[in-house]
Every structure is written in C-alpha cells, then in structure tokens.
Amino acid sequence: MSLLAELRAVLGREDVLEEPVELYVYSKDASLMRGEATAVVFPQDSAEVAEIVRVAERHGVPIVARGAGTGLAAGASPTEGGIVLSTTAMTSLEIDPENRTAWVGAGVINLDLSKAAEPFGLHFAPDPSSQSACTIGGNVANNSGGPHCLAEGSTTSHVLGLEVVLAGGEVVTLGGDAPDTPGLDLKGVIVGSEGTLGIVTRALVRLLPIEPDVRTLLMDFPDMEGAARTVSQVIAAGLVPAALELMDQRMTVAVENWLHAGLPIDSAAVLLAEVVGETVGVESQAQLIADIGRANRAKKVQIAADAAERDLLWKGRKSAFGAIAQLAPDYYLHDAVVPRTKLVETMTAVYDIADKYDLTMLNVFHAGDGNLHPLIAFDASDPEVNRRVHQAGDEIVAICLKNGGALSGEHGIGVEKRDLMRTSFSELDLDAQARLKDVFDPGRVFNPNKILPEGSRCFDFGGVRREIPDGAWV
C-alpha cells in the first residue's frame, strides 16, 4: 500500500492533504526556509499520531510536527521532505482549578488557554508575541518565552508533564502531577527539542493566579544607553518586574505608523515596564522604576491609566514584527542572548553591522533578560541583498557570543542556527546531543537534520574524523 493510501486508512481522506497548493502552504513556517512535503496530516489524538509514526517508519519518510507555523528558525519547515504532522486538531483542554493545572492538547492556542483559565482566576504565564496564534505544542517544542517570562520563567518552568509519541509509535507520559517525579527528567529533555525526539500530543501545565493589580509604564530616552542602564539598575535594586521590553526608534516609528497609539517617535529608545502584585507593592515598585528612569534621563514617564491603555501599549509591543510589513516584504531576525551589562556594547555593534552591509535594521527585545531581537527588513527575492542579510546575521550572532551570550533565547535552533552550533558547543557537547537523538529516534524519522550540524555524531571537522575516546563520559 502506498504512503498516502496508508495515511488515508488511518485518518480518512479529509485529514490528509496532497494537492500541490496545499503542500506549498505547509512547506515552511514563519522563517525564510521552504521545504517540500509529501503529505500534510491532521491527527485528532495520540493514537492516530502513533499510527502515523508507524506508517512513516515503514515507508522510511520523516515526520515534521507543526503547530501554527509561527516558528522563526525553520524548525517546522520540511526541509527533508516527508510528512508534515499538524497538531492543530488536538485541542482537548481539561482545567483543574484546585491544583492550578491543566492538561492541554498540543493544538490549543496559547492565548485560548489563558482565556479558558481566566474564570478561575488563573492564567498561563508564557506569552510569546505570537500568543494569539501559536500553540502549546509549539511552545513546548521551542521552550518559548515572551515578555512576561522575566519573573516567571519560560515554558519549561510551567510544564509538569507531557504525553509524547516516541519511535515505534510508543505513547508515554513523562512527568506528572507529583511535585518531584522520581527518575530521570526526561520531560525536561523533550521541552525545547523541537520535535526531533518525539511528538508531543498533550502537556500538563502549571497555571498561575492572576495578580490583583498591575502597573504598566512607558518611558522614552534620548539614547539607548539610558534605557539599558535603567534596566540594569532596576534589577540591581532587587526588583524583578513582570516585564522589561525595549524598542529602538526605528521600531517605534514602524509600530506607531500602524497603531497610532501616540508612541514617542522622536526618542532613541522606548522602555515598557510592568509590575504586578498587591496594590501597595505595585505602587511602590512602579515609583522605583520611574525614579530610576528619570535618573537616567527619561524624557517622559507614562503610567497606563486603565486596562484599555495598558492593552494598547502591549498591542504595540506584540505587533512589532507585523509592523515591519510597511517597510519590506520580508524580515530576518535572531534571538541571541547577552548579559544585561553588555546590552549597550552589543547594540552598538549590531547597528555597526547593519551599516556595514547597508541594511535596514530595527530592534525590539526582552531587555530584562538580555534576549535581543535584531530584525532586518528586506526583499528576499534579491539574491545580493539576501546574501548580505545572512552575512550580517552570522556576525550579529558572533558578537553576541563574544560578549558572553547564547545562540537562542526562545526561538530555537531549527535550520537557521544549526550550522552555528559549533560556535557555541564543543565536539563532546555535540556528540552527546547526537547520541541522545540516536537513542530516542534510531530511525531518524523525527524532524531530521534540525538543531545538530552534520558530523556531530563522529566529529567530522575539517576532514579529520575523530571518535569519542574509550571510557569518555558523555
């Protein structure tokens, strides 16, 4: 029986796409890299996913799990062909308000989870900018963050258990309700593995109480240095706000041209800060942040007067990537991380790189944890511009690593940063990760050739092939 015939036997004809235009739609995520799928499937539960895995293994074709396709590192692009497995039909949702947890299908949209939990006075803390579209399965795959993860942590801090389909179609539950599940933390291995070890079908997540009060501040500065110093001094004062977000002038102008929210477009940097908690506490914390901002030459300190104004400010921040459409048809960005103390130095270098390659650069980032999002607006149809964009991207990552940073804060590695892994990890590190991949996915069915560069398993460096020494621990 053919691959398509077997898939239809498992799911029915309506849940298997094969027409060229349908395959084209699912041939890439929000990155710039396009692949070519053989089929797109929409399973309803873990049992159907398990059958699809068995079918794929029999036919020797890969499976790429995909949520909403909002990923920016080509993690969900079928660059090796095969089956694109969309999780969007897996939308089961069971909230346990007493234990403040929820079992959530991989296809549940991030924001929908918080909306469902709101009547119980609860919410899901990770809030990527794409939260109105991105799914919980995708959040788990990439260990997604968001503006409000500064104090609460990224997705991994809120996942208690996972239902995962492994090689051979085995369905397992990792972790669970117990606060300290015995044994190895295999759940922690799966979170952030970008679908390369198995397919997450459900997640048991932690829900947090909605804080009784909130203050949202917008401060604008005549230079980036003042804004960055404010961020560092707020943290140094012992305060960890719910969020500390920075936009440079070019990004502020782009957002304002679209949103018309009255943002200060004549300032070099805009800092959005938020504190939550009891009223007395948030009042004093907001005052402290405002004082620190003014000491660093903030031109104006605006505190949102009500929920509507707060929502408008956050709409501006979370719509930043979409606002780029006014400038160019495509954009390319990284999400490297640097220490807060290196923000100004790194940003200066980023702007120099943009000037060097004559590129339009805009910046928006999670300043509180040093997670940068330098964004290049360009036309990908121009090969020469495309070349310069990718050269600039590599140099941006290199300067972040030189300043003590990391390759990715929340977007994942995928294909985009795969070949940069050697700049951040040693041969032993890469080999250990490749061995883990071999254990979970011996047939190399799950999202192949993502994250780890070619030759990771056997140290194929510069034509010299070296094995792990006997007795070495990895």
The CATH classification of domain 327-419, taken from the options 3.40.50.980, 1.20.1260.10, 3.30.70.2740, 3.40.50.720: 3.30.70.2740
The residue with tokens 């960890």 is 240
Please indicate whether the domains covering 94-209 and 213-321 agree at the CATH topology level: no
pLDDT of res. 322: 86
pLDDT at site 470: 42
Give yes or no for a contact between 123 and 208, defined as CB atoms under 8 angstroms apart. Answer: yes
Q: Are 79 and 189 in contact (CB under 8 A)?
A: no
Angle (CA) 254-257-262 rounded to 5° is 105
- For 180-206, how does the pLDDT look when each residue is reduced to its tens digit (9 = 90+)? 778 889 999 999 999 999 999 999 999
Residues 6+ apart with CB under 8 A from 165: 46, 49, 50, 53, 171, 198, 199, 201
Domain ranges of the chain: 3-86, 94-209, 213-321, 327-419
State the pTM of this model: 0.93
Rounded Cα distance, 361 and 378, in Å: 9
CATH of domain 3-86: 3.30.43.10
- What is the per-residue pLDDT for 468? 45
What pLDDT shows up at residue 247?
96
CATH architecture for residues 94-209: 2-Layer Sandwich (3.30)
Look up residue 169 and give its two tokens: 């179609």
Res 460: pLDDT: 45
Q: Say what the pLDDT of residue 458 is.
A: 63
Name the CATH topology of 213-321. Answer: Alpha-Beta Plaits (3.30.70)
* Strand, coil or helix: 53: helix
E-strand ranges in 241-340 read: 243-248, 269-277, 300-303, 330-333
- Per-residue pLDDT tens digits of the chain, which is 474 residues long: 899 999 999 999 999 999 999 999 999 999 989 999 999 999 999 999 999 999 999 999 999 999 999 999 999 999 999 999 999 999 999 999 999 999 999 999 999 999 999 999 999 999 999 999 999 999 999 999 999 999 999 999 999 999 999 999 999 999 998 877 788 899 999 999 999 999 999 999 999 999 999 999 999 999 999 999 999 999 999 999 999 999 999 999 999 999 998 999 999 999 999 999 999 999 999 999 999 999 999 999 999 999 999 999 999 998 888 888 889 999 998 899 999 889 989 999 999 999 999 999 999 999 999 999 999 999 999 999 999 999 999 999 999 999 999 999 899 999 999 999 999 999 999 999 999 999 999 999 999 999 999 999 864 444 444 444 444 333
Predicted confidence at residue 469, as pLDDT, reads 45
What pLDDT, on the 0 to 100 scale, is given for residue 311? 94
Backbone φ and ψ for 253, nearest 5 degrees, come out as -65, -45
Burial pattern 243-267, b for ≥16 Cβ within 10 A else e, equals bbbbbbbbbbbbbbebbeeebbeeb
